[in-house]
Chain A
Amino acid sequence: MNLVVNNTSLFLAAMLVLVALAISLWQKLGLDKDIIIGVVRAVIQLFIVGYLLKYIFRVNNFWLTTAMILFIIFNAAWNAQKRGAGIAHALPISFLAIFVSTAVTLGVLVLAGAIKFIPSQMIPISGMIASNSMVAIGLAYRSLNSQFHDQRQGVLERLALGAGLMDASIAIVREAIRTGMSPTIDSAKTVGLVSLPGMMSGLIFAGVDPVRAIKYQIMVTFMLLSATSLGSIIACYLAYRNFYNEQKQLK
């Protein structure tokens, strides 16, 4: 292992925060308070998570690992629903979408033998899956909201012709799913060319052979495609009905 971060070097690296603070003060950006709060929160949260993960990894208990994964999924759902302002039941929809996308993707990875059901593998991978699914669902919600607003007339006309809610909404739903999935597809196209992604960087940093590290990154690329597509489709198909009332009229 060639990881050499110790408390002194971390403290010295904190000087970098001063760069951001100096820019904020010099340019009168008014971000100094946010920067300090952000840094303090990041340090506290990461220390808590670090100790918590150390405990969970040591205990290596099935139920504790599952509870931690559910906690991650709930937090992801909570954040995704914030993008779904105006969409009724956005929290349970987001939870279900992220839960299914995480469970299916993790299930395939475990059954394929790519990862083991041990907390040190399940928890970080769950976090990656849930956070990407969360971003995809957030984008899909935003797309649903803006399209149902911008294309209101087209939806009304389809309804007036006797279309069911799915027929009246399908173009919007498909576009929203596409919007949710696009960032993952775009990053799959440029992976390794524009940036060395987190998983691969982390392994290389820890001294793993890059050729071995890319195999994990390929796995991550596959799992994120699965997670974002499942998350987007489930969330969109459950959410679009909320744009209509019980009389099948556009709200």
Chain B
Amino acid sequence: MSALMTLANVNYQVGDNLILKDINLGVPAGAHYTITGPSGSGKSTLLRLMAAMISKTSGDLVFDGQPIESYDPIMYRRAVSYCFQQPTLFGATVADNLAFPYQIRKQAMDTEHVTAALEYVGLSAKMLTQKIEDLSGGERQRVALIRNILFLPKILLLDEVTAGLDTANKDIIHQWLRHLNQDRHVTTIMITHDTTEIDAADQLLRVVEGHLEVGA
């Protein structure tokens, strides 16, 4: 199977500091990759680079058969969606956040679709009017993740999205990610330090001092 995303000899440097060194990786469509490694090793940088939030210093990054440079960054980020660790919610209410993906596509919010997404992760439609400061950590993270998948991306990049959550919240998110990957065919790449998630990984990658170790 041809890779949906390929990184070949990718380096990322800030000043004299080489943060990612000669990264080579092929991500097949429908894959579920788990990335781990020590703090500060370059894991988040790798994901941000894949998400076009930063640009590689050298090497090639090919997505869906085309070099990343050939895409409009905005359209690319809609196809390769990045979810932050401890995300910031916008505006005043949950609805402000879930309307945003529609707003940037000049569409009216599809309340039925949004409600279905909320219910899938154990939240209700009533939550739409809830103030964001009243949400628990787990609810915040679920609302933030829904923003990323209301329009399904081809690749979902998840940066320690379950860090700091309790087991119940983690289970909800794990089950949801499995559904997105297996039933909706969204390729997922997830950074984690969580031993349970590392043990359950289909494909485990390690980033150590800027080097990528596959299947370690």
Contact = CB atoms under 8 A, between A and B. Distances in A.
B73 A161 contact: no
Contacts of B100: 158, 161, 163
Contact of A161 (B54, B55, B77): B77
B53 A161 contact: no
A158 B77 CA distance: 10
B185 interface: no
A159 B104 contact: no
Interface in A191-248: 247-248
B84 A160 contact: yes
B78 interface: yes
A181 B54 CA distance: 35
Nearest to A165: B74
A63 B120 CA distance: 71
Main secondary structure of the interface of A (DSSP, over half): helix
A249 B73 contact: yes
B176 to A, nearest CB: 18
Given A160-B51, A160-B53, A161-B147, A167 B87 contact: no
A249 B52 contact: yes
B48 to A, nearest CB: 9
Given A154-B90, A158-B90, A162-B74, A247 B55 contact: yes
B54 A162 contact: no
Contacts of A153: 84, 88
Most chain A CB neighbours (cut-off 10 Å) among B51, B52, B54, B73: B73
A156 interface: yes
Contacts of A164: 74, 104
A159 B51 CA distance: 10
A160 B55 contact: no
B103 interface: yes
B188 interface: no
B104 A162 contact: yes
Contacts of A159: 53, 77
A156 B44 CA distance: 14
Contacts of A156: 53, 84
Contacts of A157: 84, 87-88, 90, 144
Given A247-B55, A249-B53, A249-B55, A163 B88 contact: no
B192 interface: no
Contacts of B90: 154, 157-158, 171
Interface of B: 51-55, 73-75, 77-78, 81-84, 87-88, 90, 100-101, 103-104, 144, 147-148
For the complex of A and B, 8 pairs with smallest distance between CB atoms:
A162-B78, A248-B73, A160-B82, A162-B77, A163-B104, A167-B104, A154-B88, A153-B88
